[in-house]
Chain A
Amino acid sequence: MNNSELAADTRIPDGPMDEKIRQYLAETLLIEFGDAAGATSEDENLFESGLIDSFGFVQLVAFLEKTFDIKISDEEVLSDALSSFAKIRTFVEAKVAR
């Protein structure tokens, strides 16, 4: 399944935001989502599965803040809000909507 096919299956309709996050995770942190063997599911905890380390997390937070012009607080960083692709998407959507 390629990315565009996968996008059609997601719970929330894809938009540029969804694709930007997906592309960033794939190209910078080398995390591929999908149903193929070895691929990561959108609900998978990226920290527990060892897909993001502390360097990667700092990069991810900086990317989200810059790309979507949002501010992520220390409390939010410490919460589970950014622990999976699905949660990151929900979190950014809510932030952007405010």
Chain B
Amino acid sequence: MTATTAADIRLCTRCVLPSTFPGISFDATGLCSMCQEAPPAPEFEKIRGELRQRLEAVFDANRGKAEYDVIVAFSGGKDSSYTLMMLTQKYGLKCLAVTIDNGFIAEQAQKNLRAVTSSLGIDFMLFTPAPVFMNKLYKTSATTPVHTKAALTRASSMCNSCINLINNHMVKLAIEKSVPIIAGGYIGGQVPKDSVIMQMDLDVQARFRSEAIKRYLRNFGPEAESYFGMNEEMVKRSPLRKINIVNPMLAFGVSEEQIIEEIATLGWRKTADTGSNSTNCLLNDLGIAVHYKQHQYNPYVNEIAEQVRTGLMSREEAIHKVQDIPDFSRVERQARAIGLDWNDV
């Protein structure tokens, strides 16, 4: 097999998706198959307006029904900080911000967690899984196929494992506290297009969990049960049968610059040590480097392409971001931290 070189890779003339992206094809003008189906950028504001109305209806139907209206999966990064700010200030929802400390939250991001929740005057909960388990999870994710091909088009394998652990923790908390809504700070391209509002049926979820947990136990060992499993008796007893999973960023339509400007009013400051695609995690560049070595495309390219397609990022900025692939020297320290040998990737 001949290795793909950067010169062999062509980019969509509108959104920057590369020819190495799975399932993609190009027309004679160089437009990728996703852009061929997408409306022009200005039409997205109308779509987002309709999505905001649907979100508001979900918020109105669930406000004041439990101790908290919403559990927000809060990484301390710019998108979840903005989500938390909007849900609290614009929509008047009582939020519980929940952060999973993966052991690699940048120092400035840790300050941001406190600054944002303190400024908003909301409750904040931090959960720190055992570092030995998290390191094993990351190392295994970098060297073993754990996730579906479709999931890998939205995030690196390391990020997918972490996201699944986070999601499971949020669902556990929502069930424990009977909170009807879980919000994430995901933006377009990080989650499927229809995920502005998803109703998660707990019975359906239980079925997937039983399959997923086998995979996690096989890959991450018996400790995975604590992080990916669920007390099924608690699930059955819960008065909640469905949880609304919402990703409001898909409906907001704000650029990165606007987001950073607005959350700066809460005391949020940009990190300097998390690479060009993360504002909280010190491991992110390693995830990108591993993904690129294995799949020949930046795992952020789907979300970056979607930002361009929807008019929230310029093509020039997008090209700069997607081509910023860390070489091994930039991620050696992180690889060492999780016990990863680059030759095993």
A interface, CB within 8 angstroms of B: 26-31, 47-48, 50-59, 62, 74, 77-78
> Given that A30-B22, A58-B192, A78-B203 are known contacts, is A53 also in contact with B148, CB under 8 Å in the complex?
yes
Query: A29 contacts B148, CB within 8 Å?
Result: yes
Give the residue name and chain of the A residue nearest to B201 (CB).
A74
B187-223 interface mask toward A, CB cutoff 8 Å, 1 = contact, 0 = none? 0000110110010110111011001100100000000
B205→A56 contact, CB < 8 A: no
Contact between chains at A77 and B211 (CB < 8 Å): no
Query: Would you call B150 and A50 a contact (CB within 8 A)?
Result: no
Partner of B208, one of A26, A53, A59: A53
Within 201-251 of B, Cβ neighbours of A (below 8 Å) are at: 201, 203-205, 207-208, 211-212, 215
CB distance from B201 to the nearest CB of A (A): 6
Query: Is there an interface contact between A59 and B23, defined as CB atoms closer than 8 Å?
Result: no
Are B207 and A29 neighbours in the complex by a CB distance under 8 Å?
no
Please name all residues of chain B whose beta carbon is closer than 8 Å to the beta carbon of A52 when the two chains form the complex: 148
Chain B residues, Cβ within 8 Å of A59: 192, 194
B208 pairs with A54, CB closer than 8 A: yes
A56, B198: Cα distance in complex, Å? 12
Chain A hits for B201, CB < 8 A: 74, 77
Interchain CA distance A53-B204 in the complex, whole Å = 11
Question: Which of B23, B194, B198 interacts with A30 by CB under 8 Å?
Answer: B23
- With A58-B192, A78-B204 already in contact, the answer to whether A50 and B148 are too (CB < 8 A) is yes
Instruction: List which B109-149 residues lie within 8 A (CB) of chain A.
Output: 147-149
Chain A nearest CB, measured from B160 CB (Å): 9
- Shortest distance between the CB of A57 and any CB in chain B (Å): 7
Q: For the side of the interface on B, what is the size category?
A: 20 to 34
Provide 11 A-B residue pairs closer than 8 Å at the C-beta atoms, listed in order of the A residue: A27-B33, A31-B149, A51-B149, A53-B148, A53-B150, A53-B208, A54-B205, A55-B191, A56-B150, A58-B192, A74-B201
Using a Cβ cutoff of 8 Å, how many contacts connect chains A and B? 61
Query: Across the interface, do A55 and B192 meet the contact criterion of CB distance under 8 Å?
Result: yes
Most buried by A among B153, B192, B205: B192
- Chain A residue numbers with a CB within 8 Å of B33 are 27
Chain A residues lying within 8 Å of B47, measured Cβ to Cβ, are: none
CA gap between A14 and B198 in the complex, in Å? 32
Residues of B within 8 A of A30 (CB): 22-23, 148-150, 153
Q: How far is the CB of B301 from chain A (nearest CB, A)?
A: 15
Closest residue of B by beta carbon distance from A45: B211
User: Nearest Cβ distance between residue B25 and chain A, in whole angstroms?
Assistant: 9
Query: B254 within 8 Å of A by Cβ?
Result: no
Q: Are A56 and B203 in contact (CB-based, < 8 A)?
A: no
Could you say which residues of chain B place their CB within 8 Å of the CB of A47?
Answer: 207-208, 211
Q: Is B41 an interface residue (CB 8 A)?
A: no
Chain A CB within 10 Å, residue with most, of B195, B201, B204, B212: B204
A64–chain B nearest beta-carbon distance, Å: 13
Q: Which residues of B contact A57 (CB under 8 A)?
A: 204, 208
Chain A contacts for B173, CB-based, 8 A: none
Closest Cβ–Cβ distance, residue A32 to chain B (whole Å): 9
The answer to whether the Cβ of B151 comes within 8 Å of any Cβ in the partner chain is yes
A48 and chain B: residue at smallest CB distance: B211
CA distance A60 to B153 in the complex (A): 17
